[in-house]
Amino acid sequence: MQCIRYAMYSICNVFDMQCILYDLTGVPNVVKSSYVFLFSIIVSNFLKYEPDGSKRITMSDYTAIADVGETLIDFLREHMEDLIAPDSIILFSPGELEDNDDVRLSLFLFQVHENVHLKNQEMQVIDPNTTQYPPLNLDLYYLLTSYPSSGIQDKTERTKEEHSILGRAMQVIYDNAILSGSVLRGGLAENNEEIHITQFPLSLDDMTKIWTTFQDKPFRPSICYIVTPARIESTRKRETQRVVERNLTHHVPGVGR
């Protein structure tokens, strides 16, 4: 606990925080843990700002969509390698697959929408004289599709395997609905982003419309997911001038007449 207190003092000194630490001797461990957890949240918020009070800007490049796709594929490969070969999980359209492709699971980005809930954000302060337009926050819609092995001749066994692969993929995503930290790829990892994965139910009619765009491809077991937010930072900036001086005149009724 002493080392934790030293760490807290150090962080307070770095960020010029007026912090008071109490003696935690004799305090139950659960209370100590809660105290340290709350302190870490406070510090993480301070880390979002520069010493002058302006917000620290981290850039999510235009590769954000590609980074999300890479993150999802690598994550599925890592967690399903005991069932299927990692290179059989690909980021690709079911309509472009060839019959001789050894693919067991495909992830296909079929739709992109702007996230309406994150649309009206404030301008970001870069420095006292410059603000930046808020990022473009996107919802990414993916189609996850499973395929059986061509080496299985029995049709029932092929179907069972196909369903097992899809079920395992759904289990992995369900247990890891929020991805952050070391599992992220590209600019997502560099900017400490966090993406959320949610099942997006489609009606049979809507699912059929998607599959009809894949000419001569039979309908396969599929499920849709929405992944959000994928942030693409704006390159637009606005120069601003702060008020540095203001003259106020105070008038008292009846005085000066």
Q: What does the domain layout of the chain look like in residue ranges? A: 2-46, 64-239
What is the reported pLDDT for 48?
47
By CB atoms closer than 10 A (0-12, 13-18, 19+), residue 227 is buried
CA distances, 212 to each of 163, 217, 227 (Å): 21, 8, 24
Q: Tens digits of per-residue pLDDT, 30-65?
A: 555 555 555 544 444 444 444 544 444 455 689 999
- 198: Cβ–Cβ under 8 A, 6 or more apart, which residues? 177, 225, 226, 227, 228
Beta partners for 137?
231
With CA atoms as reference, report the closest residue to 227 among 150, 140, 103, 115: 140
Do 97 and 146 touch, CB atoms closer than 8 A?
Answer: no
What is the reported pLDDT for 112?
97
For the chain, list residues with pLDDT below 50: 1-7, 9-22, 40-50, 52-57
CA distances, 168 to each of 79, 161, 245 (Å): 9, 11, 65
CA distance 239 to 35: 41
- Of the chain, the percentage scoring pLDDT greater than 90 comes to 53
pTM higher than 0.75: no
CA distance 8 to 20: 10
Do 197 and 173 touch, CB atoms closer than 8 A?
Answer: yes
What is the reported pLDDT for 25?
57
Both tokens assigned to 184: 């992220």
Do 39 and 61 touch, CB atoms closer than 8 A?
Answer: no
With CA atoms as reference, report the closest residue to 179 among 212, 228, 220: 228
What is the reported pLDDT for 34?
55
CA distance 111 to 140: 6
